[in-house]
Amino acid sequence: MLNIGDKLPSIQKHHMKRIQTEIQYEECVVKVAAKTLPGQNIKKKLKINQDSLAIKQNLCNQNNWHLFGIFDGHGQNGHLVSQFVSRHLPKAIENILLQNYVTNPNLLSKSLQVAFQQVEQDLVDKTNIACNFSGSTAVVILLIESRIYCANLGDSRAVFLYKFQDLWYNRPLSYDHKPNKNFEFKRIIRLGGRVEQSLIDGKRQGPFRVWLTNEDVPGLAMSRSFGDVAAKSVGVIAEPEILRYKIQNSGFILLASDGLWDKMDFESIQKILDHIDSPITQLDMELIAQKILGETYSKWDRKDSGRDDITLILVHIQI
């Protein structure tokens, strides 16, 4: 395990990207650190990083509105899909909010849905990206004063972690969209799709996947995404699930791709947070994000198989 202040392994030093910023306003102080690390194949060769991220501060020229997003691409052109969405979705959300200047929670949720729909349509109709069998997840946090709006497609994830009476608590801000989940499963079956595990050596194994009625494609392991046009005919959708949360305690928002969540549990993350004392500085943010990434990296590195891309955004909110 890395300790606070330790250097990252050399692969991270050369290939990790980071973003840091601090935003202050009347109600609270928001600090941000973000890191991304490309995965590698079973031969330990670096892959194209299919993860993308977005950080938009002072959304709509409001110094207490902020947007954060993680986008995890999959398929041959997954990196192109995630890059497109990371560039265009924040703009679409901001434009819709500027046009209407909505503050009603229900209208804000509707605005997020409209923005997702618009970007999905633009991706399919207005780009040359072949996305029949390529797509991207999306987990987007819209932070408006002390309210969190989380819009999610797929299996990237966001959580709010806070400490109360010396104990850490975690509040999920999103839930994975897996095809075997009740409502997702019913929609896919109703529209003619199949939800089955892969057939390997005569046995069904691995995660449940979405298949066309009479073809063993695309084998998508999520039920909502951008792109993945072939799967859209059998119930995979780009309609985000939106959850709202009122911040009542200082704490951390952690957004990450499944390269992190497949290896890290909340207990591991909370142990890292326990090493930092208040007040949280920007250097602390960098160290915490570094340590989370390093811990995740080390858990992947113990395996002989490949490693997934790892991307995270860590947001600290002091109220």
CATH number at residue 81: 3.60.40.10
Is residue 76 located within the same domain as residue 196?
Answer: no
Range of the domain at 106: 10-176+237-318
| Domains: count for the chain | 2
- 226 is a domain residue: no
pLDDT at 303: 60
Nearest to 74 by CA among 230, 192, 191, 206: 230
Is residue 196 located within the same domain as residue 52?
Answer: no
Mean pLDDT, 10 residues at a time, the chain of 319 residues: 37 43 55 96 90 94 93 98 99 91 77 97 98 99 94 98 92 98 97 95 92 96 98 98 95 97 94 85 94 94 79 95
Is residue 62 located within the same domain as residue 122?
Answer: yes
Is residue 156 located within the same domain as residue 186?
Answer: no
Q: From CA 291, how far away is CA 130, in angstroms rounded?
A: 37
Is residue 63 located within the same domain as residue 192?
Answer: no
- 147 is a domain residue: yes
Is residue 74 located within the same domain as residue 200?
Answer: no
pLDDT at 30: 86
Is residue 193 located within the same domain as residue 163?
Answer: no
- 228 is a domain residue: no
Is residue 103 located within the same domain as residue 249?
Answer: yes
Is residue 143 located within the same domain as residue 47?
Answer: yes
Is residue 108 located within the same domain as residue 190?
Answer: no
* pLDDT tens digits for range 127-145: 999 999 999 999 999 999 8
- 159 is a domain residue: yes
- 85 is a domain residue: yes
- 275 is a domain residue: yes
pLDDT at 3: 37
Is residue 16 located within the same domain as residue 161?
Answer: yes
- Residue where one domain finishes, among candidates 165, 194, 221: 221
pLDDT at 103: 65
- 5 is a domain residue: no
* pLDDT tens digits for range 23-44: 444 456 789 999 999 999 888 8
- 50 is a domain residue: yes
Is residue 193 located within the same domain as residue 52?
Answer: no
